[in-house]
Structure 1
Amino acid sequence: MQLHESIEGKKFFLVLDDVWTEEPQNWERLWGCLRCGSKGSRILVTTRKVKVAIAIGTTKSNIIPIELLSDEDCWSIFSQVALSIRSDIEEYKKFENIGRQIIGKCKGLPLAVKTLGSLLRFKRKIEEWQRVLESELWELEEVDKGLLGPLLLSYRDLPPPLKKCFLYCAIFPKDSMLEKDKLIRLWMAQDYLKVKGREDMEVVGEEYFESLAMHSLFQDFERSEHDGRKIIRCKMHDIVHDFSQFLTKTECSALDVNKSRLQLPCWKARHLMIMGEMSKEVPFPSFVYNETKLRSLAVPRRLYYKRTIASSKLFDRLTCLRSIDGPPVRKIPKGIKKLIHLRYLALGWNPWIKELPEALCELCNLQTLDVSGCDNLKRLPERIGELINLRHLMNSRQDDSSYMPRGMERLTSLRTLGSFVASRGKSSKACSRLKSLNKLKHLEGSLTLRRLGNERDLGDDNDDEKVDLKSKMRLVELNLWFDRTTETKGHRVVLECLQPPRSLEKLEILAYEGDTIPPTSNWMLSLTKLRVLTLRHCFLCECLPCLGKLPCLETLTLEGMTSVKRLGNEFLGIAEDDQARGDQAETASSIIRDTAFPRLETLIFLLMTNWEEWDDCEIAGGKTIMPRLRHLSICWSPELKALPDYILGSTSLDKLLIYYSRHLNNRYNMETGPEWPKISHVPNISFTPPGPAAQGSL
C-alpha cells in the first residue's frame, strides 16, 4: 500500500538487484502496485537465472546478458586487492607475471578474481603464489564453472577452527543479513573458538570474523552509524553460500515448511533452521523432535504470531543441543535442565513466555540468554546467580520487571547486560542492589538502569561500598531511567552518584525529576567522548548544564523539558571571565570566546511547551557556535518567540523543521513571515501547521 501511494501517477525507475525468486505468483502483488505509475516508468532486474527473468515477464529481446570481464579488468581488480600493500616496484613486477597466470584461471568472473586476490594478499613468497597456480584443485571437473577452484583454495587456506566457523554459516538462508555479534556467540556455543590463556572468547571471535572477511567470504558490510568502522551486519555472496552448503552437504540445513516437499534430508543434520509461515495447515515438522543429534536449532521470530511448538518434546528429547534460537514456545518446561550442553538460548520477542523455570539455572554451561522484548516476563529466575558462565544476558525492553534477583554479583563473566532494575526499596534479602554491578567488571556495550530514584539503591548508610560505574571503561552507552514514584530528592542524589565512565559515547536520562541536572563542576562535563545525549521527560528541570563544552557531542535531543523557559548562555558554556562580567552588561549580549558545541550536527527540541526565549550571543575572535550544525528540529514549542542570530546565520544548516510552534511559524514562514529572508538560505525547510513549505523543502 505504501509503495502504491508513493509512486501513483509518477514516473519511476526501480532497480531489483540480485533476484532469485522464480514463482510467478510471488510477483503478482508487486506488479499490481507498480501499474499505477506514470507512462515511461522503467524496472531493471539483475539476476543470474534466466528462469527468474521469464517468471517476471521479461521478453527475450529485453534480456541483456552481462559479458565476462576482460583480462585487463580482471588484473585491475586482482592487483588492487593482492598487490596493494607492495609498494616496491621490483617486488610488484616479480609477482605480476605469475599473478596474470592465476587470474587466467578465473574465466572473467569478478568474485573469483577478488577471492584469489584476498587469498594471496598476505602471502609474501613467490613460492606460495606458485603453489596456488599449480594446485590440483584446478583439475577438478566442477572447476569449469570458474568459481569452485578459487573458493576451495581460499577455504583450504583457512585454519581448521575458521573452516568450522565458515561452514556454520550455511545454516542461514541465502541473502540473509548476518549479525556479527550474534554469529560470534553461536560460534562460541559450538566451541569453535580456540582460546589461549586469558584471551577473551569474543575477541577471538572478532579476529575469526575479520579473517573470513579478508578472504572475501563475507560482503555488503553494514557498519556502525557513529564511527563508520565497526561492522554490525554482513551478507554472504550467493555463490559463497552455495559453496558452504556444497561443503557441508546435509550437516547444515535450512528447511522451508511451506514448500510442498522438504527437499533436504534432515536425518544427518547437526544444525537446522526452520523457515516459512507455520499454521494449522502447515505445522512445525514433527520429525525434528526425533533429530536427537541436533546441535543447533533456529526458528525465525516472524513465526511467533502464527503457531507455537511443543516445548516439552523439544527440550526433553534434543539433549545434544548447544544453541536454540527463537523457538515460538508458550512455556519453558522444567525438562530444559536436561540440555546440559546448551550454551545459547534465545527466546527474545516471545509474547507468551511469562516466567522462566528455576530449573533453567542448572544449565551451568549457558553463555548467552536472550529474553529481550519478552513483555510478559515479569522477572528472572531467583537462582540466576548460579549461571556463573553466563556472558551475555539480553533482557532489554522488559518494562514490567519487578526487580533483579539476589545473586547478580555472582555473574562475574557477564559482558552484556541489557538492563538492571533497581530494587525500589525492597529488602536486600529479596533482590540485588545497584552495587552488585561493581562485581561485573567486564560489562561492555549498552546498559540501562531502570526505576532509579531511591537512595538506598546506592547502598546502605553503614555500607562502605557504593555503586561504581566509572571503572567500567568498556561501556559505551548508558540509559538512566528514573521512577516517578520516588522522591525528587532521591533523584538528585542518585544522579549525582551514578558517575558514568569517561569512555561513554551515548547517554540518555529519562524521567529525572530534579530541578537541575548536575552542575558544571560535576560528572557530565567529564564525558569527553560523548557523541549522543538525550534528556527526555525531565519535567521539573528548569535549567541545563553547560552542554556546549562537550567536545565530541554530535546529537543532542531535549524532549518534554516542560519547566525550561529560557536557554541562556550557560547552555553554550560561556567562559568564566565572561560570566563574571555579566552584572556589568545585563542588557547586552554576552561574548563567547570558546567554540561552543564544536561537533554538534543534530539538535532536536520536542515538547518544550513552556520554552519562551533562546538567548543570543556575540562571537569574539573568530570563535563559533555550532559550526557543524546540519539539522535543527523544533516541535511543539508554541511559546518560543525567536531563533538566535547564530542559528539564523548558520552556513552549515541544511535542514530546518518547525512543527506546531506558532510564534516561529508566524515569524519565519515564507508567505507571511517578516523574517523569512533570515532563513531562506537553508536548503530544506518545513513548517507545519500552518504555513507552506519553502522552495526545496522536505
Structure 2
Amino acid sequence: MADGLVSLVVESLGSAAVQELSSLVGVKKDLEKLSRTFESLQAALSDAEKRQVKDEQVRNWLEKLKDVAYDIDDVLEEWKVVIDGCDDDTSSGDGTVSAHSFSPCFCFDRVTFQVKTGRRINAISRRLDEINEHKDRFFFREFREEGGIVELDTMETSSLIDETEIFGRERDKERIVSWLLSEGNSNEEGIPVISIVGMGGIGKTALAQVVCKDERVKRHFDETIWVSLPHDFDVMRVYLAIIKISGMKFSEFELHKKLLHSVASSLEDLQPTVQVVLQQKQFLLVLDGVRNIDEDRWERLMISLKEAAKGSRILVTTRNEHVTKTFAPTMMHELQPLFQNDCWSLFSHRAFSGGRRGDELVKLEALGREIVINCRGIPLLVKAIGIALRSKTDVRDRQSVLEEGTWDSLDAEKIAPSLSVSFHDLPQHLKQCFAFCSIFPKDHLIEKDKLIKLWMAQGFILPKGRVEMERLGGSYFDDLMRRSLFQIIETDEDGYAKYCTMHDMIHDLCKSIMGECFIIQEKTPKSHLAKARHASWICNGNVESIPSFIYKVGNLRTLLLIGWSKVPSISNHFFRRLKHLRALDLSGSRIKRLPNSLQNLKLLRYLDLSATEIQELPEFISSLCLLQTLKLNHCCNLRKLPKRIVKLIKLRHLETEGTYLEYLPEGMGGLTSLRTLTKFVPGVERGCKITDLKDLNLLQGELEITCLNRVASRDEANEEKLENKQNLHTLQLSCKAWMCLETHIGSEVEQVEGVFEGLQPHQNLRDLTMSDYIGHQFPSWMEDCSLYSNLTKVQLLYCRCRQMPALGKLPSLKWLKIKAMFEVRQVGSEFCGSNHGGITGTFPKLEILLFERMYIWEEWELNVGAGSIPSLFQLCIESCDMLKALPELQHLTSLQELKIRDCPILDNRCQKEVGEDWNKIAHIPSITIDGRKIQ
C-alpha cells in the first residue's frame, strides 16, 4: 500500500497550487528535494510490498516510509488551509492560490509561519534521507510503471451477476430451480427451505444469483427478497428487506430508530407489518451467507412468514452444514469444486480475453493450465488470479504467480495468501482504495456512493483531465469489482452496482495489507491503535458512549460509527487531538448537538450526521473549509441550516433526504461546486430564492424542489435555468402537501401554473415526479416528445388537474404511476397524446402502468387496437371505487400481470369475465384480485 500513498504525495508535491505556495513561503528547494527522493523510492516499492510479507525488516522500513509520507501530506494540507483562510473566498475555481489572495493577518505573520513550516519540512526531509539510505540494504528490484494508469479493458457494469462468467454450474442451477418450482409441502407444514452448502469461495452466492435471474423463477414468484447476513442471524435485517419491497414510506433509518428507542419487544411489534407485506404473496426469500443460527430466532422469523402464499420458498447459502439442521423441512445441495475443464474456461475467459494473438496463447496455455490446477477448483481463486494475469505479457511474470502463491491446501483459511497476486497486480491508484475497505467489518453491506466519497475525502482519487472525481471513483469501484474483489449484492434501477460486500478471504487479504485500518470493538487492545490511521467503531443498540481512548489516537484520518447506538452526546474535548481527520461518520447515534472542538477539524472533507437527533448545526460549520460531503439524511429534529453554510465553497454533496427543512439559507447560489443537492426549499421572507439555483449547473443525479407555491412568478422560475442542468436525471416538483386539499382562487392557480411552466428541465431528464400540484393543466413541456425522448419514468401524485396529460407519445416512457388525482372522472384519448381519438402507436415502450386512489374515476375510454401499448407487462389498479371497466385486454398481448385491489365495481366485472368470457384474459399468466390469485 505504500506505493499508492507515495504516489499521492508525489502528485500533491507536483501540483500547481503547492508549487506556487512553496515559492511564496520560501521552501521551494526543500519540497523539490522531497519530491525527487520520493520518486526515487517509488521505483522500489512494488518489490518491497511483496517482500514485506515474509521479511520483517522490509515491513518496518515500509512503515517508516509511510509515516513520513503521511506527515508531509498533513503539512501540505494544513499549509493550504492556513493560506486559503477558512472564512475568505481566496481560492480560485481550480484550487490554485494567487499571490494577492493572502489575508492581511497572514501577511503580518508570514515570517513566523514560514519558519515554523520550514522547520517541519526540514525535519521530514532528514527522516526521508535516512530511509532512502537504508533502501540500498535490501537490494530491491526497481520497477517504474509506464504509460500512466494501468486499466483493465473498458467494460460496462450493468447487472448483479454476469452469467457469461458462470461456468460448470448448469446442473447445480437446474437442480435448485426444480426444487424452487416444485409443488413442495403444504403451507401448514412450513415454508420449504433449500440450502446451498459449500466452502468459502466455491461460488454459492454466484449460483444463488444466477438462479434468481432465471426467467422461470422470476415468473413463478411475486417477490424475490435478497438478504445478506452477517455472522449473527439478524432477524431485523430480514424484516427491513421485506418491508423495503412493499414500497411503504418506511425508511431503514426510521425503522432502526423506532426499534432503538422503544421496548425490547419491538421485533414482535413489527411482525404484523411484515405479515401484511407478505400476505398471500408467493415469495422467494434468499438468506445469503448464514454462518450460525439459533432455533428461537428461526422460529421468530417463521411466525412472521406464516401468512405467505403456498409455493413460497427460502433459499439459504451457508458454509456450515450444521446450520441446515435448524431448517425443517429442508433440501440441501452441497456445491463441489469446479471440474478442471470448467476452471480452464473460467480462467481463460478472465486471463486471455484482452485480444492476444494465437502464438501468444500457445506459449501461455501450458502455464495457465498449471495455475488452474493449483486453484483446486475454487472459482474465487480462478477469477481473481486470472484477471491479475490479464495485464502481464511476459511468461516470467506469469511464472512468478506460481512462486508467490500458497497452493498446498484446500482450506479456505489457508488459500487467502494466494490471492495476494490480485493486490500486487493492482495499479497504484487502486491499491489504497482497495486496502481502505478493511475499515468495514466482514459481511458489511458497503454502499458504492458512500465508499467513493470516502475515497475522495482521503485524496485517493487522482485527477484525470476534466473528468469528475465521482466518475473516476466509480470507474475505480467497477475495476475492483471486475477483478472479483467486490461482490455485488444490490443494483439500482438501471442495473448498476449500488451495494457490495467483500468475500471473507478477500477481506482477510485486505486486512493483512492495510495495517492502519482498525475495527474497534469492546475487546480491541488499545496498544494496537497507536499506528491507526483509519478506524471504525462497531456499535450496537445498547452502546451509550464512544470509548474515550479513541480521541487520543491523534493520527486518525477516518472515524466511522457503524451501526446504531444510544450515544446522546460527545464531550467537548473529543476532537481536540483528532485534527488530522478527513472523514467522520456519526450517523445512527442520538447526538443532539456538535461539540465546539469539531471546528478544529480543518482537514475534514466528509461529515455524516444522518439519522441523529441533531437539532441545529452550529455556525462554526463554515470553518470546515475543505468539506466536500455533508450528509444530513433523516435528521427528524433538524428544521434549518446555519446561515454560514454558504461559506463552504468546496462543498460538492449536500444530502437531506427525509429531513424536513423549512427553507435553505440565503446565498445557496454561491455553492457552485455542488454536485448533489437532495432538496431545494425556497423561503418567503427568509431564506433562499428559486433564483439561487441559477448558477448551480454542476448538479447531477436527483433534485427535489418543494414549496413551489412560494415562488412569485413564472419569470422568477425562468431565471433559475433548470434547462441548463444537463446532468440531472431525476426531478421532483411539488407545492406544499396541504395546498392540494384546499380550494384556491384563480390567481393562486395561475401563479403556480406559471411557475411550473417556467421550470422546464434539460432534455436529458429520465425520471419526473410532480406532486401536490394545484394547477388546472399540466405544463406544456412535459408532453413534448421531441424534447423528452429520454424520459422513462413519470409519477403524478395528488395533482388537481381534471384531465390527464398527453403522455402517450413519449418514446421511451416505461413506468407510469398516477395516484390521487381526485378531480379526474374520465381518461380518454387525450391521455394517449391524441385529441382526435387516434391511438395507434401510443405508449410504445410502456411496461408498467399503475393507478391508485382515483376515487371519482369512472370511465377509461380507450379503444385499444393494434400497436397500442405494445410493451405493457404489468397493469395495477388500486382503490379506484367508481371505475366501471377496463380497456379491451385481449389486445394487450404483452400483458403478464393484472392486479386489481379495492375497486368494488371493477372487481365484480373482472370476476364475471373470468367466468363468462375467458378468452379476454386467457393470455395473462398472473391475475390477482384483492390479494387472491385467480390464475
TM-score higher than 0.5 here? yes
The within-5 A match list for 1:111-510 is: 111-133=380-402, 135-136=403-404, 147-225=415-493, 227-228=494-495, 230-249=496-515, 251-257=516-522, 265-279=528-542, 283-303=545-565, 306-327=566-587, 328=589, 329-350=591-612, 352-399=613-660, 401-423=661-683, 425-426=684-685, 430-456=686-712, 466-483=719-736, 485=739, 487-510=748-771
> Going by fraction, where is helix more abundant, 1 or 2?
2
Distance verdict in 2 for CA 1:571–1:34, change over 3 Å: closer
Range 506-515 or range 146-155, more displaced: 146-155
| Match 2:921 to one of 669, 673, 679 | 679
1:644, distance to aligned residue in structure 2 (A): 1.5
Q: Is the 8 A contact 2:715 2:758 kept in 1?
A: no
Query: Letter of the aligned partner of 1:276 in structure 2?
Result: C
Is the contact between residue 20 and residue 47 of structure 1 (CA under 8 Å) also seen in structure 2? no
Q: Shift of the alpha carbon at 1:239?
A: 0.4
What CA distance in whole angstroms lies between the structure 2 residues aligned with 1:322 and 1:437? 29
Residue 555 in structure 1 maps to residue 815 in structure 2:
yes
Q: For 1:43 and 1:562, locate their aligned partners in 2 and report how far apart those are by CA, in whole Å.
A: 41
In the alignment, is residue 101 of structure 1 matched against residue 352 of structure 2? no
- Give 1:585's aligned residue: none
Structure 1 counterpart of 2:886? 643
Residue 592 of structure 1 aligns to a residue whose secondary structure is coil
| Residues 433 and 453 of structure 1: CA distance in aligned 2, closer, same or farther (over 3 Å) | same
**Which amino acid counterpart does residue 488 of structure 2 have in structure 1?**
D
Name the aligned partner's letter for residue 552 of structure 2: N
In the alignment, the residues of structure 2 paired with residue 615 and residue 263 of structure 1 have an alpha-carbon distance, to the nearest angstrom, of 73
Q: Structure 1 residues 268 and 53 mapped into 2: Cα distance closer, same or farther (>3 Å)?
A: farther
Provide closer, same or farther for how the CA distance between residues 55 and 668 of structure 1 changes in structure 2, counting only shifts above 3 A. closer
CA distance in 1, matches of 2:832, 2:694: 35
Give the Cα separation in 2 of the matches to 1:144 and 1:358.
52
Rounded to whole Å, the distance in 1 between the matches of 2:405 and 2:639 is 57
Structure 1 residues 432 and 46, CA gap change in structure 2 (3 angstroms): closer
> Which SS does the other structure have where 1:470 is aligned?
helix
Supply the distance in 2 between the matched residues of 1:310 and 1:20 (Cα, whole angstroms).
29
- Contact kept? 1:435, 1:459, Cα under 8 Å: no
Q: CA deviation at 1:110?
A: 2.3
Partner of 1:664: 906
Identity %: 36
Q: Aligned equivalents of 1:681 and 1:367: distance in 2?
A: 54
Counterpart of 1:232, as a letter, is: K
Q: TM-score, normalised by structure 1?
A: 0.84
Offset from partner CA, 1:47-105 (integer Å, 9 cap, x none): 446xx8389779xxx99986544433322221121123447544433321121122233
Q: Is 1:633 aligned to 2:896, yes or no?
A: no
Kept in 2: contact 1:499–1:523 (CA 8 A):
no
2:465 and 2:862 map into 1 onto residues whose CA distance is: 59
Read off the aligned partner of 1:644 and give its amino acid letter: P
Give a deviation string over 1:185-238, Cα, whole Å, max 9, x none. 00111111111453421122122222222322112353222x32x221222111
Alignment of 1:570-589 (within 5 A): 570-574=830-834, 579=835, 582=836
CA distance in 2, matches of 1:21, 1:630: 39
How much is the aligned-residue C-alpha RMSD, in angstroms? 3.4
Q: Secondary structure at the match of 1:561?
A: coil
Question: Which residue in the other structure is 1:599 paired with?
Answer: 845
Structure-2 change in CA distance of 1:527 and 1:177 (3 Å): same
The whole-number CA distance in structure 2 between the counterparts of 1:288 and 1:500 is: 48
Relative distance call for 1:211 and 1:520 in structure 2 (3 A) is closer
Change (3 A) 1:370 1:311: farther
> 2-side partners of 1:640 and 1:45: how far apart?
44
**3-state SS of the aligned residue for 1:547?**
coil
Matched residue SS, 2:584: strand
Instruction: Tell me, in whole angstroms, the C-alpha distance in 1 between the residues paired with 2:721 and 2:923.
Output: 49
Which amino acid in structure 2 is aligned with residue 275 of structure 1? Answer: I
Alpha-carbon spacing, 1:563–1:650, altered in 2? closer, same or farther (3 Å): same
Given the superposition, is the C-alpha separation of residues 547 and 34 from structure 1 closer, same or farther in structure 2, using an over 3 Å criterion? closer
Q: 1:271 to 1:543 in 2, by over 3 A?
A: same
Any idea what the Cα deviations from partners look like across 1:309-341, whole Å, max 9, x if unmatched? 425243344222111113422211333211111
Question: What residue in structure 2 maps to residue 527 of structure 1?
Answer: 788
Provide the residue aligned with 1:616 in structure 2. Answer: 862
Q: Distance in 2 between matches of 1:45 and 1:137?
A: 32
Cα 1:524–1:508 shift into 2, 3 Å: farther
8 Å Cα contact 2:783-2:807 kept in structure 1 = no
Q: Which amino acid counterpart does residue 570 of structure 2 have in structure 1?
A: A
What is the rounded CA distance, in whole Å, between the counterparts of 2:405 and 2:921 in structure 1?
A: 67
Distance 1:78 1:440, change over 3 A: same
Residue 353 of structure 1: CA displacement? 0.8
Aligned mates of 2:586, 2:869 — CA distance in 1: 45
Q: Which residue of 1 aligns with 2:204?
A: none
Q: CA separation in 1, counterparts of 2:412 and 2:711?
A: 72
Q: Provide the rounded CA distance (Å) in 1 between the counterparts of 2:188 and 2:437.
A: 41
Cα distance in 1, alignment partners of residues 409 and 188 from structure 2: 52
Given the alignment, which residue of 4, 27, 36 partners 2:294?
27
Kept in 1, the 8 Å contact 2:488–2:497? The answer is no
- Using a 3 Å threshold, how does the CA distance of structure 1 residues 523 and 388 change in structure 2: closer, same or farther? farther
Residues in 1 aligned to 2:350 and 2:490: alpha-carbon distance in whole angstroms: 20
Structure 2 unaligned runs (5+)? 1-185, 201-228, 234-290, 307-311
- Residue 437 of structure 1 deviates from its aligned partner by 1.3
Per-residue deviation, 1:658 = 1.5
Q: Partners of 1:42 and 1:627 in 2: how far apart? A: 33
CA contact (8 A) 2:928 2:934 kept: no
With over 3 angstroms needed to count, the CA separation of the structure-2 counterparts of 1:562 and 1:195, relative to structure 1, is same
Structure 1 residues 10-34: Cα deviation after superposition (integer angstroms, max 9, x where no partner): 3512437778748999513234347
Q: Which moved more, 1:6-15 or 1:361-370?
A: 6-15
* 2:520 alignment partner AA: L
Would you say how many aligned residue pairs link Structure 1 and Structure 2? 644
Task: Give the Cα–Cα distance (whole angstroms) in 1 for the partners of residues 538 and 603 of structure 2.
Answer: 24
* Counterpart amino acid of residue 871 in structure 2: R
Cα distance change on mapping 1:131 and 1:16 into 2, 3 Å: closer
Aligned partner of residue 533 in structure 1, secondary structure: strand
Greater mean deviation of Cα atoms: 663-672 or 555-564? 663-672
Structure scoring higher RCO (CA < 8 A, sep ≥ 6) equals 2
Write the distance in 1 (CA, Å) between the matches of 2:903 and 2:723.
40
CA contact (8 A) 1:289 1:317 kept: yes
* CA deviation string 1:553-597 (max 9, x = no partner): 1110111111111111111123xxxx4xx5xxxxxxx3434x111
Q: Does the 8 Å CA contact 2:585/2:607 hold for their aligned counterparts?
A: yes
For residue 421 of structure 1, report the CA deviation from its aligned partner. 0.2
Tell me if structure 2 keeps the 8 A contact 1:86–1:92.
Answer: no
* Residue 9 (1) aligns with residue 173 (2): no
Q: Distance between the aligned counterparts of 1:312 and 1:208, measured in 2?
A: 38
CA distance in 1, matches of 2:429, 2:336: 38
- Matched residues in 2 for 1:609 and 1:596: separation? 26
Measured after TM superposition, the shift of residue 284 of structure 1 is 3.2
**Structure 2 CA distance for partners of 1:674 and 1:201, relative to 1, 3 Å:** same
